[in-house]
């Protein structure tokens, strides 16, 4: 397939003659196997020898069969497996000088001077100490006669790159650690299941989740399910919290709710350092309110199961980045951690991150809780602020005085997470003092007058609902602009929030262009991207795309599993997305596909033939199953049927073929934790922007906003959430095919090909450069994915 021109390729970074060892240490986390697979395959691809170190540092100390050379095939079929297949163990011996001396000898004997460590802060700190002692350890080994002076000179420096694998997301410097998103999936699956039984019996449930020193899982799951109360170690509740909590639960019930959810992190404490257990919270609710209350402790369920699409992609990207970092390192380069900031790979000095992580615990020990929250990073801080804003309803006297009416509507196809965004908008709007209006059935409902006020309690329980509860249509406003303007006048709408996909973008453009003729549209207008296709210009990610990716990956896992124990088989799978190849490409990376055909990367019969031959060659060796994804509009002639028939014919005698069209199952289902939180957070940010614009543009008793910057799309660009005027995004858009002209994820396609054993060019001009940990990022840069 055609490759884009890039300035800097990794071909300049040869791994010939180098040996890389990969180990997983400390607690296991879903996605570790994807990281191991990426390190092994990228390492082999660049010409390095790659070794597994089984059982973590214990295996490094014991040596022997624990350090085993990896092959391309040895990491097949492990992408979808939870935990770590190379094992992990806590090792007391490695903490001693003698243990590290044994480990050094075992590595030198195999010529390993590049170490990729996947673990938590303890594992990474141990790796850094090992690196600092390395030259001294080699001198001792020479003196003892275990290695010769030539070997000591040849292997004089040890290079370390870390990847953080921890479900707690407790490591400073990265927005997300490998395993966190999958753990959130496990928690949200349980919460969604519990909410149905709680509703039936009018019960209160207290859920205890992991997080001995970090409340990230508790906080984000509370945000994702709309929990009534959350308790986390970083921000112990004020004295008297027991009465406040019971009052809140009682108020929720009095407004018609049939259930309450309380989430407790296992390490929760009060202001005096006394543990707050789930059983204590249960007894409190029973004694004070007499509610039927149950406790569910999730425990190690959170560590188990298959990794989510997000964790597979994160781990694959980080694994490749780790190998590139090792190839570029010199004797003077400090040990680094490969990290995620927004949607961008970064490299940070390992010890700066460890030091900052330890400072969080120190601040908590010294009861400096505000400081602890700040040290966790802007993502954590923003999650906490958003949760407080949405969970705790202000009294009439606390609300700011405002006479503004703000309408919210969905446009285009439904996308999981839309309802979470609407809930967030309504509640933040009410907290800002506005009167909120809901429009049913998009702009079709708008011109028909389907507009009504929506209250705080009306959106209770919306976060976990799939589809669009407001109703959504693809109708554009241009043909009905006069009727819509009339409804705007009738309801005195002062601002509009549109949540939707490419149609929503077109709607906003049409409203903006109608401003000279209709003053009703001279108000703040904002759009949130929500579409499974992820084809909206001005944003790297859209609400709903993550849920669709998980549906694709889960189905691909099942389809591949259906062929286990049978003869060699290749599956041709068609995904949605219109002309946008995001789902096919990123879904292919997450499910270990051999090829993904998309419109953005033109292909011809020679490419198809080359793919078949490549797959045939792999099938003849050891691979038993192949996976090929095709975007629905990738090519009008090379249809899914054509590709299926071609592979069937050309693969005769080697493999047989099956095809699946995934269809609308990609659009359905409950939203993923990512989509719930992304929708919730960007919607809250959008409402705050609307409030600010309303104040700025209110003059002489009316709102008048006709500048380009009052009609914006809120999107995530690399590391930042940015409000972009839609008129400026027109030049970035291919309106015929309904896609942006530039798409960041195209840079991930060579990664998928490399991991599928194709020879290709991988652009490293965008790969992470070593940076320093920033304690307080600028305000606009809070763009954490979750």
d(C-alpha 711, C-alpha 429), whole Å = 18
> What's the average model confidence in pLDDT over 58-62?
96
d(C-alpha 144, C-alpha 582), whole Å = 57
Closest CA to 406 of 694, 706, 698, 710: 694
d(C-alpha 437, C-alpha 539), whole Å = 26
Looking at the chain, the whole-number percentage of residues with pLDDT higher than 90 is 80
Tell me the β-bridge partners of 526: 497, 712
User: What SS3 string covers 592-657?
Assistant: CCCEEECCCCCCCHHHHHHHHHHHHHHHHHCCCEEEEEEECCCCCCCCHHHHHHHHHHHCCCCCEE
User: What SS3 string covers 88-141?
Assistant: CCCCCHHHCHHHHHHHHHHHHHCCCCEEEEEECHHHHHHHHHHHHHHHHHHHHH
pLDDT tens digits for range 716-772: 998 789 999 999 999 999 999 999 999 999 999 999 999 998 887 766 656 666 777
Distances (CA, A) of 80 to 37, 54, 73, 117, 189: 11, 19, 15, 20, 18
Q: Catalytic one among 121, 168, 175, 594?
A: 168
pLDDT at 93: 95
The answer, yes or no, to whether residue 239 has pLDDT greater than 80, is yes
d(C-alpha 752, C-alpha 1), whole Å = 13
The answer, yes or no, to whether residue 8 has pLDDT greater than 50, is no
Closest CA to 581 of 532, 623, 625, 539: 532
pLDDT tens digits for range 147-206: 999 999 999 999 999 999 999 999 988 889 999 999 999 999 999 999 988 888 889 999
Cα angle: 466, vertex 468, 471; to 5 degrees:
155
pLDDT band at 331 (very low <50, low <70, confident <90, very high): confident
Distances (CA, A) of 20 to 13, 503, 694: 14, 49, 57
DSSP 8-state secondary structure symbol assigned to residue 74: G
User: Out of 75-79, 376-380, 444-448, 453-457, which region has the weakest mean confidence (pLDDT)?
Assistant: 376-380
d(C-alpha 655, C-alpha 570), whole Å = 7
pLDDT band at 775 (very low <50, low <70, confident <90, very high): low
Tell me the β-bridge partners of 67: 53
> What's the average model confidence in pLDDT over 656-683?
95
Residue 228 annotated in active site? no
pLDDT at 329: 87
Cα radius of gyration rounded to whole Å, the chain: 27
Distances (CA, A) of 163 to 21, 61, 385, 631, 764: 13, 21, 28, 32, 18
The answer, yes or no, to whether residue 778 has pLDDT greater than 80, is no
**More confident: 707 or 345:** 707
The answer, yes or no, to whether residue 260 has pLDDT greater than 90, is yes
Please state, rounded to an integer, the average pLDDT across all residues of the chain: 91
The answer, yes or no, to whether residue 780 has pLDDT greater than 50, is no
pLDDT tens digits for range 338-347: 988 877 888 9
């Amino acid at each position: 397939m055609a490759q884009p021109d890039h300035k800097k390729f990794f071909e300049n970074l040869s791994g010939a003659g180098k040996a890389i060892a990969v180990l997983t240490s400390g607690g296991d986390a879903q996605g570790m196997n994807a990281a191991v697979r990426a390190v092994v395959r990228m390492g082999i691809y660049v010409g390095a020898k790659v070794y597994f170190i089984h059982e973590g540092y214990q295996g490094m100390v014991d040596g022997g069969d624990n350090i085993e050379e990896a092959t391309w095939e040895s990491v097949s079929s492990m992408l979808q497996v939870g935990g770590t297949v190379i094992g992990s163990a806590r090792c007391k011996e490695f903490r001693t000088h003698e243990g590290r001396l044994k480990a050094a000898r075992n590595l030198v004997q195999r010529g390993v001077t590049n170490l990729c460590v996947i673990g938590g802060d303890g594992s990474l700190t141990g790796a850094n100490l090992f690196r600092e002692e390395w030259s001294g350890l080699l001198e001792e080994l020479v003196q003892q006669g275990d290695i010769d002076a030539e070997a000591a000179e040849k292997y004089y420096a040890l290079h370390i790159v870390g990847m953080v694998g921890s479900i707690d997301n407790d490591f400073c410097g990265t927005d997300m650690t490998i395993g966190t998103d999958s753990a959130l999936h496990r928690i949200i699956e349980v919460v969604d299941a519990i909410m149905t039984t709680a509703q039936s019996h009018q019960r209160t449930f207290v859920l205890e989740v992991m997080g001995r020193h970090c409340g990230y899982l508790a906080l984000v799951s509370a945000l994702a399910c709309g929990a009534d109360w959350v308790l986390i170690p970083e921000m112990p509740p004020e004295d008297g919290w027991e009465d406040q909590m019971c009052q809140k639960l009682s108020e929720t019930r009095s407004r018609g709710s049939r259930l309450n959810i309380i989430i407790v992190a296992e390490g929760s404490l009060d202001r005096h350092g006394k543990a707050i257990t789930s059983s204590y919270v249960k007894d409190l609710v029973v004694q004070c309110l007499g509610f039927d209350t149950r406790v569910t402790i999730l425990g190690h369920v959170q560590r188990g199961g298959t990794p989510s699409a997000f964790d597979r992609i994160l781990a694959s990207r980080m694994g490749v980045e780790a190998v590139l970092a090792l190839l570029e390192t010199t004797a003077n380069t400090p040990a680094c951690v490969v990290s995620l900031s927004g949607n961008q790979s970064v490299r940070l000095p390992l010890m700066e991150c460890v030091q900052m992580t330890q400072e969080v615990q120190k601040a908590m020990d010294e009861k400096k809780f505000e400081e602890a929250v700040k040290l966790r990073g802007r993502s954590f801080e923003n999650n906490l602020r958003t949760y407080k804003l949405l969970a705790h309803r202000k009294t009439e006297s606390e609300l700011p005085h405002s006479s503004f009416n703000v309408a919210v509507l969905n446009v285009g196809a439904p996308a999981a997470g839309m309802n979470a965004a609407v809930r967030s908008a309504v509640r933040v709007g009410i907290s800002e003092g506005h009167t909120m209006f809901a429009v049913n059935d998009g702009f079709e409902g708008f011109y028909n007058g389907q507009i009504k006020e929506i209250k705080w309690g009306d959106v209770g329980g919306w976060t976990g609902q799939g589809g669009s509860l407001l109703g959504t249509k693809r109708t554009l406003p241009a043909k009905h602009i006069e009727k819509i303007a009339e409804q705007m006048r009738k309801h005195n709408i002062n601002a509009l929030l549109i949540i939707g996909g490419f149609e929503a973008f077109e709607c906003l453009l049409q409203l903006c262009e109608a401003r000279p003729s209709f003053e009703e549209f001279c108000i703040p207008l904002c759009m949130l991207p929500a579409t499974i296709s992820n084809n909206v210009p001005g944003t790297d990610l859209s609400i709903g795309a993550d849920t669709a990716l998980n549906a694709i990956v889960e189905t691909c896992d099942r389809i591949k599993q259906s062929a286990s124990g049978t003869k060699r088989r290749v599956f041709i799978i068609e995904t949605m997305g219109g002309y946008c190849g995001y789902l096919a490409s990123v879904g292919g990376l997450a499910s270990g596909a051999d090829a993904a055909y998309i419109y953005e990367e033109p292909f011809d019969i020679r490419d198809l033939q080359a793919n078949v031959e490549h797959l045939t060659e792999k099938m003849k060796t050891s691979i038993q199953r192949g996976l090929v994804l095709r975007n629905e509009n990738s090519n009008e002639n090379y249809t899914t049927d054509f590709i299926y028939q071609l592979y069937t014919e050309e693969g005769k005698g080697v493999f047989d073929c099956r095809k699946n069209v995934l269809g609308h199952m990609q659009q359905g289902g409950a939203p993923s934790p990512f989509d719930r939180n992304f929708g919730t957070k960007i919607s809250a940010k959008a409402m705050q922007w609307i409030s600010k614009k309303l104040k700025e543009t209110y003059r002489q008793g009316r709102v008048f906003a006709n500048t380009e910057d009052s009609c914006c799309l809120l999107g995530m660009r690399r590391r930042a959430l940015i409000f972009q005027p839609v008129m400026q995004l027109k030049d970035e858009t291919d309106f015929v095919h309904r896609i942006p002209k530039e798409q960041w994820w195209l840079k991930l396609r060579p990664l998928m090909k490399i991991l599928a054993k194709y020879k290709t060019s991988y652009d490293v001009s965008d790969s992470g450069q070593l940076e320093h940990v920033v304690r307080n990022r600028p305000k606009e840069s809070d763009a954490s994915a979750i």
